Amino acid sequence: MTRLTRDQMRGKAQTVLGLIDPAELGSTLMHEHLIWNITPPPQRSNPPPPSELDLQQWWNLATSEIKVESNTTQLDVGVATRAAAEVVQKGGRTIVELTIGGLMPDPNGLAQVSRDSGAQIVMGSGHYVHDYQDPANANRSLEELAQEMVDQIQLGAWGTDVRAGLLGEIGCQWPWTDLEKKMLHAACLAQQETGAALTIHPARHQDHPWMLVEFLRAHGADLSRTIIDHIDRTIFDDDRLFRLADAGVVLEWDLFGQESCYYAPNIDIDMPNDAQRLRDIRKLIERGHGDQIVISQDICHTAHMTEFGGWGYAHIYKKVLPLARRRGFTEAELNKIMVETPRRLLTFI
């Protein structure tokens, strides 16, 4: 394995098949999972179950009302390839795949999916939330964790020579744990070292994104190259939303397709539907933040895939963009969200 230098990477984007001219990225989904295991580690069977579902239970599975391992585990390269091909068929070019430490990342599997589907795939790096991490991470130093992420970008990830194209999704729980803070600090150092974008899974608490902003500032992160994920299930008022936007971070609505207000992981909140997501995005555009918005579907349940009766990875192309156009979004605005901002973020500086 050879290490790519920062000079070799600067001005380029990196997919699982290698460095590319960022102009080739095209329309990009910024937060998906194609091959994953989000079953909590203590509940995982070995070997993992195949991807199959009892469709009579589809609604309960799609809303996470019931937990079934074959819904929270998808390790089949063929299933992932068919899903990625749908995106290409509907006009998408690039899928950012954020299955990282704790979620059973499969870099060689993603490279195969990319070759077989024609989709470009940009892979994440680092570790997900505390409860999914290898307990050994608690004893690893800040420098060691930072170097691991640098290596995943410059050298190869998870024992392969497939390289990552950005940092994260770095995971945070509520309450935010010391291990997660160390991991995020390490990601800030890796961002400074590599010039990569950083994407963060915030805790399920409306004040956590602002805590992230303060933490990122204190640790020298580039906020303009940092994405706060899952805004749809985290922020519910304009004050908090505008304050985040004013701080300069990129805001990501990545649960498009989830149309039910019932959100099993936190039933204290009203999950917005796609129309409400578009209204929040509209508000930010009117306020001048049109270049700080990205969208995606964060599919990580088999019930959400078309092959198992769900809306699938092309939902944004099939339903959301047409809806947005009917609601008055211009092509220039949508191009910023789908093409220009992802390209800016995925280009190493």
* Residue 274 interacting with Zn ion (CB under 5 A): no
**What SS3 string covers the chain?**
CCCCCHHHHCCCEEECCEEECHHHCCCEEEEECCCEECCCHHHCCCCCCCCCCCHHHHHHHHCCCCCCHHHHEECCHHHHHHHHHHHHHCCCCEEEECCCECCCCCHHHHHHHHHHHCCEEEECECECCHHHCCHHHHHCCHHHHHHHHHHHHHCCCCCCCCCCCCEEEEECCCCCCHHHHHHHHHHHHHHHHHCCCEEEECCCCCCHHHHHHHHHHHCCCCHHHEEECCHHHCCCCHHHHHHHHHHCCEEEECCCCCCCCCCCCCCCCCCCCHHHHHHHHHHHHHCCCCCCEEECCCCCCHHHCHHHCCCCCCHHHHHHHHHHHHCCCCHHHHHHHHHHHHHHHHCCC
Question: What's the closest the beta carbon of residue 220 comes to Zn ion, in angstroms?
Answer: 25
Task: For Zn ion, give the closer residue by CB, 98 or 129.
Answer: 98
Nearer to Zn ion, 96 or 321 (CB): 96
Site mask for Zn ion (CB under 5 A), range 50-79, x = bound: ------------------------------
Q: Which is nearer to Zn ion, 97 or 280 (CB)?
A: 97
Min dist. Cβ of residue 168 to Zn ion (A): 9
Quote the least distance from Cβ 7 to Zn ion, whole Å. 31
Pick between residue 73 and residue 154 the one whose CB is nearest to Zn ion. 73
Judged by CB under 5 A, the chain residues 74 through 103 that form the site for Zn ion are 98
Annotated binding residues for a divalent metal cation, written as ranges, equal: 31, 33, 169, 201, 230, 298
Measured from the CB atom, the residue of 274 and 298 that comes closer to Zn ion is 298
Least Å distance, CB 252 to Zn ion, is: 10
CB 105 → Zn ion: shortest distance, Å?
Answer: 12
Residue 29 vs 278, nearer CB to Zn ion: 29
Contact code string over 282-321 relative to Zn ion, x by CB under 5 A:
----------------x-----------------------
Closest CA to 107 of 157, 45, 51: 157
Residues in the interface with Zn ion (CB under 5 A) total 2
In the complex, what is the shortest distance from the CB of residue 298 to Zn ion, in angstroms, rounded to a whole number? Answer: 5
* Close Cβ partners of 26 (under 8 Å, ≥ 6 residues apart): 92, 93, 94, 120, 339
Of 9 and 103, CB closest to Zn ion: 103
Closest separation between CB of residue 286 and Zn ion, Å?
Answer: 28
Annotated binding site: 31, 33, 169, 201, 230, 298
| Contact set with Zn ion (CB under 5 A) | 98, 298
